[in-house]
Chain A
Amino acid sequence: MASLNPAMNNLKQPEMPVDPLAQLKSILLTEDQQRIAELEAALAELKAQLSHKAQLIATLEPVIGEVLEKKIGDSKDEMARSLAPVMGAAIKRQIKDAREDVIDALYPIVGRMVAKAVAEAMKKIIANINANLNRTFKFSRWFRQQKARLQGIDPAEKVLADAFPFQLQRVFLIARDSGLLISYAGASQSGPEHDEAHIIGGMLTAIKSFMETSFAGSREGDLNEIEHSEFTIRINSGRYTYLAAVFSGVAGNELDEELRNLHIRIHERFHRQLRSYDGDNSRLQGIEQPLREIIRTTQHIDHEHTAAS
Chain B
Amino acid sequence: MNTLQLHKKICLLGTFGVGKTSLVRRFVYDKYDDEYKSTIGAKVSQKRLVPLENSRKELIQFNFLVWDIEGVEKATPQVNHYLLGAHGFLLIGDLTREETIGALPAISEFARKIAPGAPLVLAGNKADLAPDGSHTAAVLAEVADRLSAPYLLTSAKDGRNVEDCFTQLGLLIAE
Contact = CB atoms under 8 A, between A and B. Distances in A.
A and B are interacting partners: yes
Interface stretch (B40-48, B100-108, B156-164): B40-48
Contacts of A198: 7, 46, 63, 65
A302 interface: no
B85 interface: yes
Nearest to A202: B44
A280 interface: yes
Nearest to B63: A198
B127 to A, nearest CB: 29
Nearest to A203: B44
A209 interface: yes
A179 B81 contact: no
Contacts, number: 73
B78 A214 contact: yes
B129 interface: no
Interface residues of B, number: 23
A206 B7 contact: no
Interface string B44-87: 11100000000000000001010100000000011001101111
Contacts of B78: 209-210, 213-214
B85 A179 contact: yes
B138 interface: no
Contacts of B82: 206, 209
Interface residues of A, number: 25
A206 B44 contact: yes
A179 B4 contact: no
A210 B78 CA distance: 6
Interface of B (DSSP majority class): strand
Nearest to A214: B78
B42 A180 contact: no
* Residue among B4, B45, B81 facing the most chain A CB atoms (10 A cut-off): B81
Nearest to B7: A279
B4 A280 contact: yes
Nearest to B86: A178
A212 B81 contact: yes
A177 interface: yes
A213 B77 contact: yes
B25 interface: no
B38 interface: no
A181 interface: yes
A119 interface: no
A213 B67 CA distance: 17
A203 B45 CA distance: 9
Contacts of A176: 85
A179 B87 contact: no
A121 B8 CA distance: 45
Of B9, B43, B44, B45, most A-chain CB atoms within 10 Å = B44
B160 to A, nearest CB: 27
24 contacts: A176-B85, A178-B65, A178-B85, A178-B87, A179-B85, A180-B7, A180-B65, A199-B46, A199-B65, A209-B78, A209-B81, A209-B82, A209-B84, A210-B81, A212-B81, A213-B78, A278-B87, A279-B6, A279-B7, A279-B8, A279-B9, A281-B7, A282-B4, A282-B5
Given A198-B46, A282-B5, 10 more contacts: A179-B65, A181-B7, A198-B7, A198-B63, A199-B45, A199-B46, A206-B67, A210-B42, A213-B77, A281-B5
Interface of B: 4-9, 41-46, 63, 65, 67, 77-78, 81-82, 84-87
The 9 lowest CB-CB distance pairs between A and B, nearest first, are A178-B85, A202-B44, A177-B85, A177-B84, A279-B7, A209-B81, A178-B9, A206-B42, A213-B78
